[in-house]
Amino acid sequence: MKQIFHPYTKWEDYKNGMWRKVDIDTEKSMLTQAITFIGNHLEYGKAMIRVINEWKITCEHNLTDNSINQKAFIGHCAVCLQLGIPEYITRMAWHHLTEKQQIDANKMADIAIKEWNKINNDNNTKYQQLNLF
């Protein structure tokens, strides 16, 4: 699939604060929340599906870019959409997970990305709602 570009001001992740910074007390609280949330791969996976359903422009721009880590990206978006936590805190939280939690989380990301690709490579079903979990 050819990469599709959109200005960042149209990205839902940008509009929802995925790239913002927070103060240290808020950061600590958000880190704890993010660790718990990402560690629950089923809830994390549901949020990834929400991203695909609700953040169309963000997904189109970023999931057509084969040069980025798409698993990490969809995961960062899921935490931001579900909990309002910025991307840099999600990256910090990842290193607090067990290896099994990371593997399970990556499996959920693989499912979400595969479904997004399937839908967006089929013009007849483009942007249909996904309900996998």
The pLDDT tens digits of the residues spanning 61-100 come to 999 999 999 999 999 999 999 999 999 999 999 999 999 9
Does any domain span residue 63?
Answer: yes
Confirm whether 1 is domain-assigned: no
Q: What is the mean pLDDT of the chain?
A: 93
DSSP readout, the chain?
-------GGG-HHHHTTTT----HHHHHHHHHHHHHHHHSHHHHHHHHHHHHHH-HHHHHHHHT-TTS-HHHHHHHHHHHHHH---HHHHHHHHTTS-HHHHHHHHHHHHHHHHHHHHHHT-TTSTTPPP---
Judge whether 43 lies within some domain: yes
User: Which pLDDT does position 122 carry in this prediction?
Assistant: 59
Greater confidence (126 vs 41) lies with 41
Number of structural domains found in the chain:
1
In a domain, 62, yes or no: yes
Q: Which domain holds residue 45?
A: 23-120
In a domain, 27, yes or no: yes
**pTM of the entire predicted model:** 0.89
